[in-house]
């Protein structure tokens, strides 16, 4: 698809290095600030799909920006500017090597583990007698080690994180506190849109002066799962599938086509028709999550547009 951005190779003034994650590409400028570009790459089961999704990067970047501004009174974050629909700029941070996953409902990965007979996830007990998509008595934190591009994130317990020295105990207590505060605010924002924030992940880093801040994305359909609140309990009571807003629809399509990111499995062919349907679904997610109409950016030459806007920002 010509109207997507799946790779960048910019050379900005003061550029020191580039880090390429599964979806975002991060440019280090003078060891002081980071320019994060949200590409249109699609990742599922920790595997990057071969084709980009039109407007996906813009959608993720703009939701994350709105959510960071809506939570900055609770938790400090890295963001300082958004010079382009696909670009966020912020403070240089040293990322913690864990993702803080928090789950209010027994869905997705937790449900798959539960169905396999497991009752403990990342050292946290899950009650007996639960059905898929039931609400946990209290939200549970189930961290994951952060993978490099194409590698699988791995579940890890709080105890193992501390025992292996991945995060100090003092810092980890802050991460847990911030995670619970963000999830509570996200739950309230979702409820105001007629949605349920089911589960999500947060990433944190430390600035040069030692301050712990929220980084990367927050409450986007790539990092979070949402249900429609209307009819949730009726669907649970009747054993129906929940109506949801998340990337789970892509995962389910892949599973139905024989792919779960396991060794030897091939990514199924994604037709242009399917790619466009995924793009339309992401726009639907944006509008439901933010309560605003999505305005498509000019995608006639995304690379040139991004480079121009970032260069203007750096000159200013």
Where do the domains of the chain lie? 15-93+282-315, 95-249
What's the pLDDT at 262?
87
Q: Which of 152, 103, 105, 159 is nearest to 132 (CA)?
A: 105
Considering the domain delimited by 95-249, tell me its CATH architecture.
2-Layer Sandwich (3.30)
pLDDT in tens, 167-183: 999 999 999 999 999 99
pLDDT in tens, 121-171: 999 999 999 999 999 999 999 999 976 544 557 899 999 999 999 999 999
Could you give the angle at which helices 272-290 and 248-256 cross, rounded to 10 degrees? 150
The residues of the chain scoring below 70 in pLDDT are 1-2, 147-152
CA distance 60 to 239: 32
What's the pLDDT at 152?
57
The pTM for the full model equals 0.88
Considering the domain delimited by 15-93+282-315, tell me its CATH architecture.
2-Layer Sandwich (3.30)
What's the pLDDT at 148?
55
CA distance 58 to 297: 8
């Amino acid at each position: 698809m010509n109207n997507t951005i799946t790779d960048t190779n910019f050379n900005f003034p003061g550029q020191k290095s580039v880090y390429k994650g599964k979806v975002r590409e991060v440019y280090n400028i003078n060891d002081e600030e980071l320019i994060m570009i949200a590409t249109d790459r699609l990742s599922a089961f920790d595997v990057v799909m071969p084709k980009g999704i039109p407007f996906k990067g813009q959608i993720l970047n703009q939701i994350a920006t709105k959510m960071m501004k809506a939570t900055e009174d609770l938790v400090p974050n890295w963001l300082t500017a958004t010079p382009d629909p696909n670009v966020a700029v912020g403070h240089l941070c040293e990322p913690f090597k864990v993702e803080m996953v928090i789950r209010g409902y027994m869905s997705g990965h937790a449900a798959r583990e539960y169905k396999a007979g497991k009752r403990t996830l990342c050292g946290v007990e899950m009650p007996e007698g639960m059905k898929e998509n039931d609400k946990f008595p209290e939200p549970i934190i189930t961290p994951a080690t952060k993978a490099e591009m194409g590698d699988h994130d791995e579940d890890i317990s709080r105890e193992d994180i501390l025992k292996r020295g991945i995060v100090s105990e003092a810092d980890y207590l802050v991460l847990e506190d911030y995670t619970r505060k963000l999830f509570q605010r996200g739950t309230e924002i979702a409820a105001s849109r007629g949605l349920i924030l089911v589960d999500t992940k947060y990433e944190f880093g430390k600035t040069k002066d030692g301050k712990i801040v929220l980084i990367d994305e927050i409450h986007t359909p790539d990092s979070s799962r949402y249900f429609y609140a209307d009819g949730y309990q009726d669907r649970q009571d009747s054993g129906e599938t929940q109506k949801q807003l998340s990337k789970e629809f892509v995962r389910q399509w892949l599973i139905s086509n024989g792919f779960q990111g396991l060794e030897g499995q091939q990514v199924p062919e994604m037709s242009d028709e399917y790619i466009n349907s995924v793009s339309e679904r992401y726009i639907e997610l944006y509008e439901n999550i933010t309560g605003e109409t999505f305005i498509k950016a000019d995608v006639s030459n995304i690379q040139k547009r991004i480079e121009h806007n970032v260069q203007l920002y750096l000159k200013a």
